[in-house]
Amino acid sequence: MAVITVAEAARWLKERDVFLILTHKRPDGDTLGCAAALCLALRKLGKTAWLLPNEEATSLFAPYLEGVLAPADFTPAHIVSVDIASEGLFPDRALPYKGKVELAIDHHPSNEGFAALNCVEADKAACGEILYTLITQWFPVTAEVALPLYVALSTDTGCFVYSNTSPNTHRVAAELMDTGIDAAWVNKRHFRTKSYTRLRVEARIMETLELRDEGQTALAAITLADMAEFRATEEDVEDIAAFVGQLEGVHTAVTIRELKPGECKLSVRTMADLDASKVCALLGGGGHAAASGCTVMGSVADAKTAIMAAIRMVRSEG
């Protein structure tokens, strides 16, 4: 359970061979981009490296995973994980590797140090920033390696818009773009394209949105009937809470997903004037001060009543 620096991690990798790289459950651009970049960089060093195929990787990331997914008969000598904070976040296929990860590279403050060697820089917006520093210990990044690293950086920062974006994020992005990668194509694909179904769901949310507390609290709902009507998948409603969160003048944005009859999942986003984790704790949930979640056993109407009561209770305490 040792902690090592990026330079030490680079040396450790360079001295070994035959790697399997793990990504996390519900994989995003950071974990997949880091894994692909590390795999390609290790191969450039003349080594054998593969990614453990992640069954939950969506088609959005397919272009970055060509030629890097391990064949079924691959036997690795060393297991490395990228962007994984704990073994609880292993996808099913990675469960056999619990307790066997030798090197974990990560940027989550919540990293549990589950590997033999842990290289964690929690001040980085994306794990891709760490991988950039690591790979450049070996050689200047090539376009092939830079593309998945750009995907890692841009997707974890909403294309440099989230508050985690730092000067270092921009500096690494500049270095990656210097290699001639088509960043505009990545941006169009990940940030300037929405499915028809997603936009229909967003439109339905606006049609049925309820504003309370003189417009400061917004209650949005996506019912089972909505999901069925639009034939929406989980991918279509991913991070849908952010949609309501962008409403001007709204301080508290509640998004209710009816998961099955009598069960609703709530996502609560708040500004500094209200602690979302306290609100959700009252309903058995939790999370962060600005973004939390909870489950209400009841109808959408029940969920609205429950969350409004919880909001009022926390407000009256503050």
Residues that bind a second copy (CB under 8 A): 159-163, 165-168, 170-171, 173-175, 177-178, 183-184, 187-188, 191-196, 199-200, 202-207, 211, 215, 245-249
Among 208, 198, 300, 272, residue whose Cα is nearest residue 240: 198
- Residue for token pair 């009598």: 262
> Do 271 and 299 touch, CB atoms closer than 8 A?
no
Distance CA 143, CA 269 (A): 38
Nearer to a second copy, 118 or 154 (CB): 154
Q: In whole angstroms, how close is the CB of 85 to a second copy at the nearest point?
A: 23
Nearer to a second copy, 97 or 160 (CB): 160
Cβ proximity to a second copy, 48 vs 223, nearer residue: 223
**Hey, what are 11's tokens?**
């040396």
Q: Which is nearer to a second copy, 115 or 125 (CB)?
A: 125
Phi/psi of residue 224, each to 5°?
A: -60, -35
Q: Give the whole-angstrom CA distance, residue 175 versus residue 155.
A: 17
The distance of closest approach from Cβ of residue 158 to a second copy in the complex, given in angstroms and rounded to an integer, is 8
In angstroms, give the least distance from the CB of 104 to a second copy: 28
- Rounded to the nearest whole angstrom, what is the least distance from the CB of residue 268 to a second copy in the complex? 17
Rg, Å, the chain Cα set: 21
Buried b (16+ CB within 10 A) or exposed e, 94-110: beebeeebbbbbbbbee
Q: Least distance to a second copy from the beta carbon of 303, Å?
A: 22
Shortest CB 128 distance to a second copy, Å? 14
Number of neighbours of residue 144 by Cβ within 10 angstroms: 15
CA distance 102 to 105: 10
Q: Smallest distance from the beta carbon of 265 to a second copy, in angstroms?
A: 22
Of 48 and 197, the one with the shorter C-beta distance to a second copy is 197
Question: In this structure, are residues 55 and 36 in contact, taking their beta carbons and an 8 Å threshold?
Answer: no
Note whether 23 and 52 are within 8 A (CB): yes
Q: Nearer to a second copy by C-beta: 61 or 90? A: 61
- CB nearer to a second copy: give 225 or 259: 225
**286: helix, strand or coil:** strand
Q: Tell me which DSSP letter residue 34 carries.
A: H
Q: Provide the 10 A C-beta neighbour count for residue 173.
A: 24
